[in-house]
Structure 1
Amino acid sequence: MNDRPENHRAPTADTDRGREAGERIDTLLSALSAAGPVARERAEALVGEIVGLYGAGLERVVGLLEPEAVERLAADDLIASLLLVHGLHPHDTLTRVRTALDGVRPYLGSHGGDVAVVEVAGGVLRLAFSGSCRSCPSSSVTLELAVEDAVRAAAPEIETIEVVAAEPDSNAGVIPAESLLARIHSNGEHGGHWIGAPELAQLGAGEVGGFAVAGAAVLACRVGDDLFVYRDHCASCGNSMAGAALHRRAGFGSGAAVLRCPVCRAHFDVVHAGARLDGDGHLEPLPVLIRSGTPQVAMPMEAAG
């Protein structure tokens, strides 16, 4: 559920400022429309000239650098966004999408699932999801948030994400495409929001804590260096899991952790999407990423709003 910084280049504060600047420009241009079409056309022409001037300068800088130096520039989110705007990024769309998806695979793997690129055609990206626990009530929202966020940051030219059916896996049920992100547009419409939760960073290895994120009660656990977040709601008895503790799963390695409900004593696999080990059902996982050193949790719309 957690993507470490070395595995996933989560959007940084600089990237967020870049997006906010673009949104402010669009807002200003829209405001100028009130003065009439001529005023807007002149404003757009001015912005175009400025962007073109900076783009020409950036192209000249890139042309003077060795390929290794350009790769290092592309590894910085803010600079990468500028390279994309001016068509100077060293990697094509497919390469950037695949790299972004590699970053979220640890989270998908916590659900026992995976994702593969089927096709990139124009502004449409087609993905196939496989595996995962089809009984997870929050898979649709959490996968949408994790995958869309990664793709939008790496390849803003992708306008639509479509899910196609994957080949059945004999060892795991395929995530039904209709239950996932059948179609995602890059117009800012999300199934939820990323909410900053800096207090989660205070958890030490093996610790469990209850927190309020966007007004919703959540339970956070740290297993080694990884942070896992769930709704504070036992899938067995329906009670809060306040006071729950982590236990090592007998016969498994140190990374296998079990969360036991303090009320009904049901056991859940923390690392694998909160699947119950002694019965049916499982906890509701919430994606968590580290952004600029601060944990952020993806809260579904009904909780974040």
Structure 2
Amino acid sequence: MTQSHTVADELESVAARVDAAVAAVAKLKPSAQAVALELKQAIEAFHKLALTTMVRHLKQDPRGKELLLELVADPAVYALLIMHGIMRADPLTRARRVLDNARPYMQSHGGDAELVDVRDGIAYLRLHGSCNGCSLSAFTLRKHVEEVLLREVPEIIRLEVLSDQPVPAILRSDAQTPPDESRGWVRGPAVSAVPSGQMISIPTERGSVLIVNVANRLSAFRNACAHQGRPLDGGMLDPEHGTLTCPWHGFCFDVASGECLTAPQAQLEPFPLRVVDGFIWVRPQ
């Protein structure tokens, strides 16, 4: 059994103990439940005070910041900091969790929703299965997704539904203007040179750019891991899960957003991307 599997098993075991304790408390008399709840809240307040102090000191020291990045890669540490409100999951992560919870209802009615990105208050999605013959119409599917996302993720103010054609996964205002080489735009490869499930790096005057295509979502990033800046083009691309794993130290990234799934504070540097006349254009910063 690998170390990662051991940690995962331990985390699942501890979580099961917590669930069992919660279920046992629910069976107690109201007076006993009140005592148990007060004990729980007192212990959590003590832990939060200590954890907050530890994180504050780590953030104040450059060496501590690097150590904190490594610590939050551990799912148990990350879950603990999230639980105590010391760290807050980003809108994209929370929106994905919301959709995961809503997915059984959507799929039971013949529909589904794929979250591409959340940026500047806009959630970019693809809707699937909402067509004639499906019990969940396109309009109803969109309204359902909109209702749950706007209610559960306050940072999201509206939705944008994308088509199934190859499009930029990260939509920024400067990615929607006509490409002008005098303003830094660089013509890259033809779209056909980067089929779905593959990636390619291209040299530019501002450094190497990594272009990734997953499910016809094109992303462009600086070809440098957010951990130590080493190139990513030799990494492992997982089209099924939409992730790219750095070949050097195993940091894992969401290729739609650039979010680091190993250390949530880290982020790949994204570049504006356009598709014009069958060619990919990028604008390295």
Same fold (TM over 0.5): no
Pick the TM interval, shorter chain. Answer: 0.3 to 0.5
TM-score by length of 1: 0.36
TM-score by length of 2: 0.38
